[in-house]
Structure formats: C-alpha cells, structure tokens
C-alpha cells in the first residue's frame, strides 16, 4: 500500500506542495520511505528526525546523535544515504521543508480516506509499529526488568498525560497478579510518593518523550530513596540513563503535536510482556490466586453461566 504524507494545510495548498514544490518538500517522506534500506543505526537517526523535525532543525549534530544513541559519523552517513553532503545540507533541506509547510508530519492516512480505508491504515500502522518495537528490545534488559518486578515489595507506576493512562494499565496488570501496585499520574503526587520508597520497591516510569522534567525528578527521588527504577522511554532520552533498567523504544510519531497513538500501543504491549514475564516468574502458586479472582467475577456479567 502506497504511503502518503498528510499536511494540516488545506487540500488545494497541499496539492501544490508535493515533489514539484521545492527541493525540500519531500525530505520527511523520503526518510520514511527509505527506513527499510537504512542500516539499523541510521534508522535510529531517521526515527528521531521523523519524531521531532523542528527539534532537529534547532539542534547540533552531536545532540541528534545523542538522542538517537548513535555516533556523530552515523548521523553524517544517514545524511549521505539521503543523497546529501552532510548534516548542514540536511538541515537546510529540512528547513526548506518546514518553511514550505509540506513537512508537517509523515502519516499513512489522508483526509479523503473513507472510514474503511482509515481503519485498515491505522491497524496496519499499529502492526508495523509493534513489529519494529519488538526488534528494538534488548533481551537482557527485559529479563532484568521482569526479575525486579517479580521480587518487588511494592511497585509504583509513574506517568504523565497519555503515559499516565499506560501507568494505570500497568498497575491493573500487576494488581491482578496479586502484587502490591499503585499508579500515579500527577507530578506532585508521584514526586511525594517517590520520597517514601525504600530498597526492595520498584518504580516503573513511562514516558513518550523521556524529557518530562517532573517525571525525571520523581525518578531521581525514587533512586535516592533506594528504589530500583525501570524506564520505558525513547533511546537517547534524558530519562533512560537515570533508570536502573532502560527499556528503550523508538516510535516514529511526533509526540509534541497530538496524543500519541502508536507510541501508546507500543507501551501497552510492552507492559503486557512485562506482566506475563512476571506471571511466569511467580510460578504455579499464581494460578490458584488468579482462579480465586476469576471466581469473584462470576455472576457479575450477563450470560455468565458459571
């Protein structure tokens, strides 16, 4: 299925902002279309550019490399893979794209899509995202995160905005396993809660950007109190190095513009991985507890015969 770019400009204006609209008009689409042919390291740079093009335009080569968790030469190779001489030429092309209004964000959907087309594209994009993220996960880090959660005296899940909703889902998953778990989506509350933690407690910090000051502050307070911290955040973000275990996932959507969709889907699925891993670690005794929990729900649904 062909990929298309969607702009927030009116359709008549957008039609003139395609390939013939100027040298920079298709740079984000070119990056998106080229991702499968890029090396894994160059793909990380591409993901950073697609996620936050305006930030890249204002940043140095080293800052982009750090956010993508790659070397400076990798950023240069990425630029050359797009047929550009180097980072400065790339920034010029990106600036032209942003100025023309044609950049706006790479998306699969088009304003003229029918509801059926929209459904197919959203589901396909979600499936692609989950496939991409599954290949980014580091098995050793997953194992360590599951081990910390399975042995935790108390689990506190922190997030803000849409990540706060994911934190609540995580709390529900661990609560269902019989673990002591809470979730906080208020910066003041999880900041205070973090100061009351102790060794043996685990914080699961979730962020779409990894740059939220309040969440980073709470993570630092939790570690000062002796708790272990597992972070779910983009690679190269400020949050990741502040965590005992960083589960880094990169999703190519701009989380600064609207409520993240595929990022949220990836976060929720990763929470499922962690909760199932913890369930396996807890062993046969868990089955009896789950059965008792299921018994408590019988008779609360229409049509339940048991």
DSSP string, 162-201: HHHHHHHHHHHHHHHTT--EEEE--HHHHHHHHHT--TTE
Q: Domain extents for the chain? A: 5-106, 128-295
pLDDT in tens, 175-213: 988 899 999 999 999 999 999 999 999 999 999 889 999
Q: What angle do CA 239, 73, 32 make, to 5 degrees?
A: 70
- Most confident of the following: 28-42, 147-161, 287-301: 147-161
> What pLDDT shows up at residue 108?
57
Count other C-beta atoms under 10 Å from residue 272's C-beta.
Answer: 13
Q: Comparing 165 with 51, which gets the higher pLDDT? A: 165
Whether the Cβ atoms of residue 91 and residue 58 lie closer than 8 Å to each other: no
Instruction: Specify the 3-state DSSP secondary structure of 229.
Output: strand
**How far is it, in rounded angstroms, from Cα 295 to Cα 107?**
45
**How far is it, in rounded angstroms, from Cα 190 to Cα 203?**
10
Give the CB-side neighbour count of residue 298, counting CA atoms within 13 A: 8
Query: Which token pair is 229?
Result: 């911290």
Q: What stretches of the chain show up as alpha helix (H) in DSSP?
A: 11-15, 27-34, 40-51, 53-57, 61-68, 72-81, 87-100, 115-136, 139-150, 162-176, 187-195, 213-224, 262-282, 285-297
Over residues 89-93, mean pLDDT: 88
Query: Which token pair is 289?
Result: 């507890």
**How far is it, in rounded angstroms, from Cα 167 to Cα 150?**
17
Q: What is the mean pLDDT of the chain?
A: 81
Query: Which token pair is 303?
Result: 């049509």
- Most confident of the following: 20-24, 89-93, 168-172: 168-172
pLDDT band at 65 (very low <50, low <70, confident <90, very high): very high
Q: Is pLDDT at 25 greater than 60 in this prediction?
A: no
Query: Which token pair is 286?
Result: 């868990």
Q: Which fold has domain 128-295?
A: Rossmann fold (3.40.50)
Over residues 5-17, mean pLDDT: 32
Q: Comparing 174 with 29, which gets the higher pLDDT? A: 174
**The domain made up of 5-106 is a member of CATH 3.40.10.10:** no
Q: Please identify which residue in the block is written with the tokens 């089955």.
A: 287
Please give the full DSSP string across 237-281, using - where no structure is assigned.
-SSGGGSSEEEE----S-TTTS--SHHHHHHHHHHHHHHHHHHHH
> What pLDDT shows up at residue 22?
36
Instruction: Specify the 3-state DSSP secondary structure of 206.
Output: strand
């Amino acid at each position: 299925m062909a990929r298309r770019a969607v702009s927030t400009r009116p359709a008549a204006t957008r039609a003139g902002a395609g390939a013939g609209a100027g040298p920079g008009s298709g740079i984000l689409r070119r990056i998106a279309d080229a991702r499968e042919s890029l090396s894994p390291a160059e793909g990380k740079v591409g993901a950073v550019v697609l996620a936050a093009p305006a930030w890249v335009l204002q940043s140095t080569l080293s800052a982009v490399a750090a956010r993508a968790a790659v070397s400076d030469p990798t950023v240069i190779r990425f630029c050359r893979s797009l047929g550009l001489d180097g980072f400065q030429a790339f920034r010029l092309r990106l600036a032209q794209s942003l100025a023309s209004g044609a950049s706006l964000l790479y998306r699969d959907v088009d304003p003229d899509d029918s509801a059926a087309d929209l459904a197919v594209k959203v589901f396909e994009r979600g499936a692609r995202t989950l496939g991409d993220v599954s290949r980014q996960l580091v098995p050793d880090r997953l194992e360590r995160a599951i081990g910390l959660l399975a042995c935790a005296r108390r689990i506190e899940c922190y997030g803000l905005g849409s990540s706060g909703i994911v934190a609540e889902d995580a709390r529900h998953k661990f609560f269902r396993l019989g673990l002591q778990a809470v979730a906080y989506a208020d910066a003041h509350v999880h900041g205070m809660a973090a100061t009351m933690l102790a060794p043996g407690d685990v914080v699961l910090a979730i962020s779409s950007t990894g740059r939220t000051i309040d969440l980073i502050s709470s993570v630092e307070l939790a570690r000062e109190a002796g708790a272990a911290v597992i972070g779910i955040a983009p690679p190269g973000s400020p949050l990741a190095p502040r965590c005992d275990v960083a589960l880094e996932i990169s999703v190519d959507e701009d989380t600064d513009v609207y409520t993240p969709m595929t990022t949220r889907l990836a976060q929720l699925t990763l929470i499922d991985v962690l909760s199932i891993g913890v369930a396996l670690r807890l062993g046969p005794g868990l089955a009896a507890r789950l059965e008792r929990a299921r018994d408590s729900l019988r008779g609360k649904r229409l049509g339940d015969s048991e």
